[in-house]
Amino acid sequence: MKQLFALLILASSLGASAQTPSNQEQLTFVGNTQTSNPLVVVNGQQTAMGAFILEPDKIKSVDILKGEKATAKYGDKAAEGAVIIALKEDIELTRLPQVFTHFKVPAKQQQLKVAIDGRMVSKPELVLVELATIKDVVVAVADNPFIEGGKEEYLNLVTK
């Protein structure tokens, strides 16, 4: 019975990985914001966990600073540590206003909450992306029992 269960799990994981495109991967950090909220800096620009999209092959290095090393370099905003990402080449990274302009998002929709591939971004002002990694920006709807009607619209940045 244990062998059958293990075989079933192996078969289902093979099927799931076969459906995942391996030639176009993006890097999106999703952190547990309840336990840590490190400062994230990509090529000198501040962002946040879950608020940036990069292709992994464009990363030159990732440095982790903790404690006094982080606060000595970045001050109190790095009290919970810092993740410093350097890119291999000079890549133009953009913020949400430029993404909205590029994808012609109407002003009214720009006021909606923002998600990246369906994951809500807690600090949209820190979104940092390479435009080439975004396929589309669409208005999506999610259940929200705390608002009238139970549904809430949000902007979803869909990656390639």
Q: Please tell me the distance from the alpha carbon of residue 155 to that of residue 138, in angstroms, as a whole number.
A: 6
SS3 of residue 53 by DSSP: strand
pLDDT at 130: 94
**Beta-ladder partners of 86:** 61
Asked if pLDDT for residue 68 goes beyond 70, the answer is yes
Cβ pair 157, 110 in contact under 8 A: no
pTM above 0.75, yes or no: no
- CA-closest candidate to residue 96, choices 32, 55, 156: 156
**What percentage of residues in the chain have a pLDDT greater than 90?**
69
Q: Please tell me the distance from the alpha carbon of residue 20 to that of residue 24, in angstroms, as a whole number.
A: 10
Rounded mean pLDDT of 114-137?
96
Q: Please tell me the distance from the alpha carbon of residue 141 to that of residue 73, in angstroms, as a whole number.
A: 41
pLDDT at 19: 37
Rounded mean pLDDT of 27-54?
79
Rounded mean pLDDT of 119-132?
95
pLDDT digits (tens, 9 = 90+) for 1-25: 333 333 333 333 333 333 334 444 5
